[in-house]
């Protein structure tokens, strides 16, 4: 088997796998545009013959999507800000000090990452209701997401900080700066890319977060889009085109952002790995 043939075969396999993986996304976009009868046609049509373009405006209006998306944004921005402020300092310390306690701390942080949200939600719910945090349910969700996603952020940003040579900081110290000054003047600007990329990933996670929001936010006017989508579906749902339109509106901005930033995200994630 020649090299070119093998490369082509691998490429074909990759294409097939990508197609399978992305098919639901494609189905979401086409279903949203189909009419009621076209949706349930057998055999199914892969392209809508009579695309219903006004469905987006209808769904936006009828489901009050503006409010849902606003709540999603509030929660996502809140969580990212909290994580960024607390996580950057934490990651820096874990990057610069090496001893047994740091190792233990890092291990515990990674352990936190292992616990799934559906497991944590009950104790968190009980605890938050004791503290009266459920009176401000969006803030409660922000706190819960921050706790859940912080380890991921810390581990990523720690790698970024470790790629900033210690000597640069030492040069700044000898040049007359304090440790804090050196951190803000030298280390932070150089780690900026890694921090931004990690923050974007956290933002995407938080924007689509469902478990905590579903269980902690009872008031409809405070619920994020993920919960709104869920409440759209019932046991006898048949308005799949509306649901898919909702999902399209919800997902497309994130998807677009990811495609645009994809290169930077990948390079940001691997920047710590290579010199």
- The residue ranges that bind another protein (CB under 8 A) are 165, 167-168, 170-178, 181, 185-186, 189-190
DSSP characters for 47-98?
Answer: S-SS--TTHHHHHHHHTTHHHHHHHHHHHHHHHHHHHHHHHHHHHHHHHH--
- Looking at beta carbons only, is 92 or 250 nearer to another protein? 92
- Is there a contact between 118 and 181 (Cβ–Cβ < 8 Å)? no
d(CA 51, CA 35): 7
- Looking at beta carbons only, is 155 or 182 nearer to another protein? 182
Nearby residues of 32 by Cβ (< 8 Å), 6 or more positions away:
55, 56, 241, 244, 245, 247, 248
Residue 176 C-alpha from the chain's centroid: 40
- Looking at beta carbons only, is 1 or 174 nearer to another protein? 174
- Looking at beta carbons only, is 159 or 244 nearer to another protein? 159
State in angstroms the smallest separation of the CB of 186 from another protein: 6
- Is there a contact between 241 and 33 (Cβ–Cβ < 8 Å)? yes
- Residue 261 has a CB neighbour count (10 Å cut-off) of 16
d(CA 16, CA 35): 29
- Looking at beta carbons only, is 187 or 217 nearer to another protein? 187
Terminal Cα-to-Cα distance of the chain (whole angstroms): 36
State in angstroms the smallest separation of the CB of 273 from another protein: 19
State in angstroms the smallest separation of the CB of 170 from another protein: 5
- Looking at beta carbons only, is 74 or 190 nearer to another protein? 190
State in angstroms the smallest separation of the CB of 178 from another protein: 6
State in angstroms the smallest separation of the CB of 176 from another protein: 4
Residue 151 C-alpha from the chain's centroid: 14
State in angstroms the smallest separation of the CB of 272 from another protein: 16
Q: Count Cα neighbours of 160 within 13 Å in the Cβ-side half-sphere.
A: 30
d(CA 85, CA 91): 11
d(CA 66, CA 187): 39
State in angstroms the smallest separation of the CB of 190 from another protein: 6
d(CA 119, CA 247): 26
- Looking at beta carbons only, is 20 or 274 nearer to another protein? 274
């Amino acid at each position: 088997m020649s090299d070119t043939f093998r490369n082509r075969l691998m490429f074909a396999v990759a294409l097939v796998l990508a197609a399978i993986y992305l098919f639901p996304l494609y189905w979401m976009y086409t279903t949203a545009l189909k009419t009621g009868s076209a949706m349930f046609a057998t055999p199914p049509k892969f392209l809508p013959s009579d695309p219903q373009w006004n469905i987006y405006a209808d769904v936006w209006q009828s489901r009050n999507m503006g409010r849902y998306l606003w709540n999603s944004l509030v929660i996502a921005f809140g969580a990212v800000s909290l994580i960024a402020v607390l996580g950057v300092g934490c990651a820096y310390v874990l990057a610069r000090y090496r001893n047994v306690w740091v190792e233990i701390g890092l291990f515990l942080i990674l352990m936190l990452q292992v616990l799934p949200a559906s497991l944590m939600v009950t104790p968190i719910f009980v605890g938050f209701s004791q503290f009266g945090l459920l009176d401000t349910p969006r803030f409660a969700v922000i706190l819960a997401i921050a706790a859940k996603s912080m380890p991921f952020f810390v581990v990523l940003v720690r790698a970024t900080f470790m790629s900033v040579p210690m000597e640069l900081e030492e040069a700044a110290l000898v040049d007359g700066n304090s440790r804090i000054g050196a951190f803000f003047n030298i280390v932070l600007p150089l780690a900026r890319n890694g921090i931004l990329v990690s923050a974007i990933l956290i933002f995407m996670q938080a924007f689509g977060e469902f478990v905590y929001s579903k269980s902690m936010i009872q008031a409809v006017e405070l619920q994020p889009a993920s919960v709104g989508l869920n409440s759209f579906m019932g046991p006898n749902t048949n308005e799949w085109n509306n649901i898919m339109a909702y999902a399209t509106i919800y997902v497309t901005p994130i998807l677009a952002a990811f495609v645009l930033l994809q290169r930077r995200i990948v390079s940001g994630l691997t920047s710590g790995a290579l010199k």
